[in-house]
Chains A and B, each alone.
Chain A
Amino acid sequence: AIQMTQSPSSLSASVGDRVTITCRASQAIRNDLYWYQQKPGKAPKLLIYGASSLQSGVPSRFSGSGSGTDFTLTISSLQPEDFATYYCLQNYNYPPTFGPGTKVDIK
């Protein structure tokens, strides 16, 4: 199975900060990469599909980029509601595999 890693595992940031989270695949996955946001006690929410396409209804401060093995999720100006854990997911090879998550909390 393809292994997904994320860095950092956690970060502290302030409202208004630009935040970048990295996801790396153990082998090339083209752009078959998804980003999910999960708030404590809640179900995950789809943010990005196809590595860079914004899911309908998701604020434009979220963006995704990358192809092959290296991907990034960027929040251009962190808002209070963005403090959460972010997971990447690959669907290029069976089985689909999630990254371990990046927790974003308040500095």
Chain B
Amino acid sequence: EPEVTQTPSHQVTQMGQEVILRCVPISNHLYFYWYRQILGQKVEFLVSFYNNEISEKSEIFDDQFSVERPDGSNFTLKIRSTKLEDSAMYFCASRGQTYEQYFGPGTRLTVT
């Protein structure tokens, strides 16, 4: 069964450093999303991406964040200058023509 994959599974970085989180969505999906989940809290929407552009973003997704689909398979989230409060699980999700979203296993980002 096709699945969303994410790399790395765990990323440790120092405050102020740039990180890139990578995702490979399900191959025939057209809508892509990033969510995050701070430990013990709810899953929060960050950004949606369709037709090679951002379609919606939340207040969390400020100028420090960017997304890209550099080729036909990868979908990336970049945080330019990480802060301590960026520490969280980051989930990529994708969907096809129906509304259910399929989530990856997540990247645990730890900012020290």
Partners in one complex: no
- Chain B contact residues, CB within 8 Å of chain A: none
- Chain A contact residues, CB within 8 Å of chain B: none
